[in-house]
Amino acid sequence: MGLFQKYLVNKNIFKNREVLRHSYRPNILPHRQPEINTIASILAASLKGETPSNILIYGKTGTGKTACVRYVADELEKASQETVIPCHVIHLNCEVIDTQYRVLAQIAKNLEDHDERPSDGTRSNIPFTGWPTDQVYMELKNLLESVGGVMVIVLDEIDKLVKKSGDETLYNLTRINSDLKDSKVSIIGISNDLRFTDFLDPRVLSSLSEEELVFPPYNAPQLCDILQKRGEDAFMEGVIDPPVIPLCAALAAQEHGDARRALDLLRVSGELAEREDESRVAEKHVKMAQEKIETDSMIECVSTLPTQSKVVLYSMLLLEHIGKKIFTSGEVLQVYREVAGTLDVDVLTNRRITDLVSELSMLGVINTRVVSKGRYGRTKEMWFDMMTNRIWEVLSKDQRLSRDTLIQLDTNRLKALVR
DNA sequence: ACTCCACCGGAATACTTGGCGT
DNA sequence: ACGCCAAGTATTCCGGTGGAGT
């Protein structure tokens, strides 16, 4: 039996695991029909050759924004094939395509693919870089005119674009219609951040948000439906214990109503059951999955921390190691100075340490609480609430924090220090 | 060359309650 | 018994700096 054979044997759990991934695009979107209808009714104008209103869509992660827009977009392109008006939709993720140049170039590139003119080999491919933005802009206009029809530009995670390169791009795009004769441009902006309009020029904002749409988070029963539907495609029949899906839904609903989170939970539960060679996914797997996802993200978070934060965290681990369950900022500071000195890294001041500590607290690695001790001043108490040995492991992966160098720190000395 | 941002620290100000004075 | 004070840090405000990006 080959090395991988045994991993292929267990076919009892998943039918198609891909269905549970973020990248999967479902055909049915439960509980989003009103939103889909709204978007469709706005975009329908393009089938008559009119310019659809620009739309701004808000909603937290995992509320189905992107999925709905993509769905409507596909339908629109399909419908336009039966009319004389060509409608094209281009979907840009602004987290990746985050400068004006890249946005324009990407749109142009996409247009060239739609350009049905007989290619004479002189098509001007816009290079990835090098042209002045004006020229790309002109070229884009020419392309739009030659393709004609209606172009719907979806800017996903538009807040990222505005944050990184300002609203100039949006200003140009919203104005482009006035320079066009045979074609129309409509923009759909998708944002996770409800306050991102603060950074926008009022003119851009009013033009961009001719229509606004908010995607509310899913509640537990809705998540249940979603998981149910996907589960049918993803899992073999009958392998899921009845309470599993409601539990996943409930846990995710507690979080933020994030469907992505719920699907992760279900997928990881299935994977854990598979790994344990069990024939059914049970409640205990969901609980394990919940824990796994949590620690995984914690590990990811800790391992990407800047060095100084790691040193601070390390100091706290040392304090915990010598038997202190709860430590004060003063103690952490003293131990930190000791550790940082030993490690030959810059020793930051109190001021900075308090910042790092509150950052750690924000990330959920530690808990903190400010307490006033009357005559004895005011301090911040902090403590861990998860298995600290995982944090030890992660930290010791950092070369500078390998245990060998730190074992030199005499625990007795530390104990004396915090007294 | 210039701008922006992350990082840093100094100084001022805020906060809270046990202890002390009355 | 009551109320103000002081300790000791949290927190805020602000200005400087070096590096990355353009």
Q: What is the pLDDT of residue A105?
A: 80
**Is any atom of strand C within 7 angstroms of residue A129's beta carbon?**
no
Q: Which nucleotides of B are covered by protein (CB under 7 A)?
A: 7-11, 14-19
Low pLDDT (below 50) residues in chain A: 118-123
> For residue A411, what are its two tokens?
């625990």
Name the amino acid, one letter, at A129. Answer: T
Report helix, strand and coil shares of chain A as percent, to nearest 5.
55, 10, 30
Helices A283-303 and A388-396: crossing angle in degrees, nearest 10, is 40
CB A181 under 7 Å to nucleic chain B: no
Rounded alpha-carbon distances, angstroms, from residue A248 to A144, A254, A284, A312: 46, 10, 11, 35
Which of A148, A133, A149, A138 has its CA nearest to residue A176?
A: A138
Q: pLDDT tens-digit profile of A49-92? A: 889 999 999 898 889 999 999 999 999 999 988 888 888 899 98
Render pLDDT for A263-311 as a digit per residue (tens, 0 to 9): 999 999 999 998 888 888 999 999 999 999 988 888 888 888 888 888 8
Task: Report yes or no: A36 and A29 within 8 Å, Cβ to Cβ.
Answer: yes
Q: Which nucleotide is nearest to A368 (CA to C1')?
A: C10
Query: H-type helices in A324-410, by residue range?
Result: 329-343, 350-363, 388-396, 403-406
CATH number for the segment(s) A33-214 = 3.40.50.300
pTM of the model: 0.78
Residue whose pair of structure tokens reads 């923009």 in the numeric block: A187
- CA–C1' gap, A54 and B13, in angstroms: 48
Q: Domain residues of chain A, as ranges?
A: 33-214, 219-302, 305-417
Protein residue with the closest CA to the C1' atom of nucleotide B11: A351
CA pair distance A302, A61, nearest whole angstrom: 23
Pick the closest to residue A332 from A352, A346, A353 (CA basis): A353
- CA angle A130/A133/A137 to nearest 5° reads 125
- The answer to whether A308 CB sits below 7 Å from nucleic acid chain B is yes
DSSP A240-258: B-TTHHHHHHHHHHHHT--
Each residue's pLDDT tens digit, A227-239:
999 999 999 888 8
Q: What tokens appear for A299 in the block?
A: 């590990």
Q: Quick one: pLDDT at residue A128?
A: 56
Report the distance separating Cα A384 and Cα A170, nearest Å. 45
CB of A375 lies under 7 Å from some atom of strand C: yes
**Tell me, what's the pLDDT at A121?**
42
Q: Which pLDDT score, from 0 to 100, does residue A346 have?
A: 85
CATH topology agreement for domains A33-214 and A305-417: no
pLDDT of residue A118: 47
> In angstroms, what CA-CA distances link A179 with A46, A137, A148, A174?
18, 11, 13, 11
Q: Which fold has domain A219-302?
A: Helicase, Ruva Protein; domain 3 (1.10.8)
The pLDDT score that the predictor gives to residue A249 is: 93
Give residues 66-105 of chain A lying near strand C (Cβ < 7 A).
99
Options 1.10.10.10, 3.40.50.150, 1.20.1440.230, 1.25.40.10; CATH for A305-417 is 1.10.10.10
Nucleic strand B within 7 A of Cβ A352: yes
Burial class (CB in 10 A: 0-12, 13-18, 19+), A226: buried
Q: Which residue is nearest to nucleotide B18 (CA to C1')?
A: A374
A347 CA from C18 C1′ (Å)? 18
SS3 A167: coil
